[in-house]
């Protein structure tokens, strides 16, 4: 029988209804059961309906006939001309671009939209805009709660759009997720990696490949989804149940590792997972780690041997020819450079994370976000463009503020954020200035405090010191400017001490 004759024969069988289930009226799927008084029934209908009590037998002869046929897609009337063997027909129909799709937000918000996959992206952007995430240098940032049952997000890049689906299985204590292409001609070579970060410095990293659009519209297939243990996420989340997920998608043309990327693997610090730059230290057994982690550890995290002051000069020598990514590349920075150049860049990187300097506030973000936050929410305590300084005063005889911080202010100047903290003790007034987010900063700043006698403004008591890196207050007030209360009393006017505070770059 020629191929055309076989197709004609198939169409004749379809027209006679011999190949359709007597219950669901869809094309039969093996195993086919011949049910008394009913006819041929697919196994799904047999198990889900009341005909299970009737006598039935396997119709293996019809199954053999089906195995020879190429069956049309059930969306033929909508334009699909595909024909498949019955073994592949179900997968094709589930993934058919002419299939009527159900919006995945149905389980999240009850959306009742149905339509073509070609219209899906426009529908999602128009009706679920708060679930759309735009890329930043191929990175997507998403905060999720460990208690969320279903998460659906549209990931929009310049030339590509993907769908993220996350599902919390509390019974298995696992979170499953997939990223799918929105088009049927998806590229199976597209990869992505995810860093799951909490309040601690630790993170969990997962990676997988972009899946077919088929997995957007049906329940997540846990056998092919990425899974993460919820208990492991709780450990890195610490006090909260919120996780920051950083998705990095690698398209096919960017999958090949460069020589720098291959070499950088050997420079990964075993503690903080950042890339080591000179000076690089090593334990007595030869395991290396970065200069930021070394002071915090008593023993090697790899072999538990002790540390000396031994440097790994051989590894340091290799860094001369290595181009380092910015330490904030996971936040979206695409800058690369030599070890010295990248350190200078990192001190002023616009992606560097900041926490709000005021202790009662938990806000965080990059430099611009925190500056706007300070101006909008702490405006009474913020001096903007404050390089020229500000003048303030306090009452000297307030005994109830002894051993307490009585004033905090933030000064925004030189594209940096400075925190001024004032404290009174029994015999002194203490004033300290810190550079917020000062780790790896390449600039030096000094602060000057001038106590002014308001009866004779030309009479001043001036003290100058270096702005400090952020540190605990018990350490901060050991290294700050101190004014004896007995001296301040000679500058006070009606019990008030007036001072001028300025910052300058050295």
Nearest to 162 by CA among 197, 196, 115, 194: 194
CA distance 469 to 472: 10
User: What is the per-residue pLDDT across 164-210, written as a single tens digit (0 to 9) for each?
Assistant: 999 998 889 999 999 988 875 555 557 888 988 876 667 788 888 88
pLDDT confidence tier of residue 367, bands split at 50, 70 and 90: confident
**Minimum mean pLDDT among 152-156, 306-310, 467-471, 493-497: which range?**
306-310
Quickly count: other Cβ atoms within 10 Å of residue 117's Cβ: 20
Average pLDDT, stretch 459-475?
A: 89
Q: Which of 137-141, 330-334, 387-391, 461-465 has the highest mean pLDDT?
A: 461-465
In CATH, what class is 101-254? mainly beta
The 3-class secondary structure across 445-490, one letter per residue, is EEEEEEEECCCCCCCEEEEEEECEECCCHHHHCCCCEEEEHHHHHC
Quickly count: other Cβ atoms within 10 Å of residue 165's Cβ: 23
**Per-residue CA distances from 501 to 49, 62, 369, 405 (Å):** 82, 92, 25, 17
- pLDDT of residue 256 exceeding 50, the answer is no
> 492: which 2 tokens?
């006070």
- Asked whether the CA dihedral 326, 327, 330, 331 is positive or negative, the reply is negative
Tell me if residue 52 falls in helix, strand or coil.
helix
In CATH, what class is 259-347? alpha beta
Angle at 153 between CA 151 and CA 159, to 5 degrees: 160
User: pTM higher than 0.85, yes or no?
Assistant: no
pLDDT for 499 equals 93
> 163: which 2 tokens?
């769908």
User: What is the per-residue pLDDT across 102-135, written as a single tens digit (0 to 9) for each?
Assistant: 888 887 888 988 887 778 888 999 999 999 998 7
Higher pLDDT, 398 or 440: 398
User: What is the per-residue pLDDT across 296-307, written as a single tens digit (0 to 9) for each?
Assistant: 788 888 888 877
**Minimum mean pLDDT among 275-279, 296-300, 490-494: which range?**
296-300
Domain 354-505 carries which CATH code?
Answer: 2.60.210.10
Angle at 420 between CA 415 and CA 422, to 5 degrees: 175
Q: How large a percentage of the chain has pLDDT more than 70?
A: 91
Domain 3-95 carries which CATH code?
Answer: 3.30.40.10
- pLDDT of residue 465 exceeding 90, the answer is yes
In sequence order, the 6+-apart residues with CB closer than 8 A to the CB of 252 are 187, 189, 190
Domain residue ranges in the chain: 3-95, 101-254, 259-347, 354-505
For residue 324, count CB atoms less than 10 angstroms from its CB and return exposed for 0-12, middle for 13-18, buried for 19 or more.
buried
Q: Which of 102-106, 228-232, 281-285 has the highest mean pLDDT?
A: 228-232
- pLDDT of residue 100 exceeding 80, the answer is no
Nearest to 349 by CA among 137, 47, 41, 195: 137
Tell me if residue 387 falls in helix, strand or coil.
helix
Matching CATH topology for 101-254 and 354-505?
A: yes
Rg (alpha carbons) of the chain, rounded to whole number: 33
Q: Which of 216-225, 326-335, 481-490 has the highest mean pLDDT?
A: 481-490
pLDDT for 188 equals 53
């Amino acid at each position: 029988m020629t191929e055309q004759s076989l197709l004609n024969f198939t169409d004749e069988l379809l027209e006679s209804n011999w190949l359709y289930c007597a219950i669901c009226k869809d094309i039969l799927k093996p195993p086919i059961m011949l049910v008394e008084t009913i006819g041929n029934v697919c196994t799904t209908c047999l198990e889900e309906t009341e005909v299970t009590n009737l006598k039935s037998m396997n119709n293996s002869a019809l199954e053999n006939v089906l195995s020879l046929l190429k069956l049309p897609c059930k969306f033929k009337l909508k334009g699909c001309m595909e024909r498949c063997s019955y073994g592949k027909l179900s997968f094709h129909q589930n993934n058919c671009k002419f299939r009527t799709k159900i919006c995945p937000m149905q389980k999240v918000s009850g959306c009742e939209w149905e339509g073509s996959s070609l219209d899906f992206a426009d529908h999602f952007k128009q009706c679920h805009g708060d679930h759309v995430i735009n890329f930043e240098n191929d990175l997507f940032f998403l905060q999720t709660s460990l208690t969320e049952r279903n998460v659906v997000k549209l990931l929009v890049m310049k030339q590509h759009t993907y769908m993220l689906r996350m599902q919390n299985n509390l019974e298995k204590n696992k979170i499953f997720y997939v990223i799918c292409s929105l088009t049927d001609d998806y590229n199976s070579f597209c990869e992505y990696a995810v860093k799951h970060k909490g309040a601690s410095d630790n993170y969990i990293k997962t990676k997988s490949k972009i899946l077919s659009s088929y997995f957007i519209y049906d329940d997540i297939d846990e056998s092919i989804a990425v899974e993460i243990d919820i208990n492991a996420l709780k450990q890195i989340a610490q006090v909260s149940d919120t996780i920051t997920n950083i998705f990095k998608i690698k398209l096919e043309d960017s999958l090949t590792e460069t020589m720098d990327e291959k070499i950088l693997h050997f420079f990964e610090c075993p503690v903080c997972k950042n890339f080591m730059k000179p000076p690089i230290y090593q334990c007595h057994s030869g395991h290396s780690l970065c200069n930021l982690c070394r002071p915090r550890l008593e023993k090697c995290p790899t072999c538990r041997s002790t540390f000396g002051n031994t440097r790994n000069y051989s590894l340091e020598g290799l860094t001369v020819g290595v181009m380092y990514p910015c330490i904030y590349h996971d936040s979206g920075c695409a800058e690369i450079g030599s070890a010295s150049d990248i350190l200078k860049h990192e001190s002023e990187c616009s992606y560097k994370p900041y926490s709000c300097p005021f202790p009662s506030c938990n806000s965080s973000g990059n430099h611009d976000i925190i500056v706007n936050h300070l101006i909008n929410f702490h405006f009474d305590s913020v001096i903007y463009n404050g390089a020229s300084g500000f003048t303030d005063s306090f009452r000297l005889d307030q005994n109830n503020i002894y051993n307490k911080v009585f004033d905090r202010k933030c000064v925004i100047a030189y594209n940096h954020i400075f925190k001024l903290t004032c404290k009174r003790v029994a015999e002194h007034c203490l004033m300290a200035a810190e550079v917020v987010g000062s780790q790896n900063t390449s600039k030096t700043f000094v602060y000057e405090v001038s106590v002014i006698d308001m009866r004779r403004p030309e009479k001043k008591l001036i003290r100058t010191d270096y702005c400090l890196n952020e540190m605990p207050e018990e350490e901060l007030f050991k290294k700050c400017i101190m004014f004896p209360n007995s001296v301040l009393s000679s500058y006070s006017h009606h019990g008030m001490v007036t001072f001028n505070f300025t910052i300058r770059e050295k």
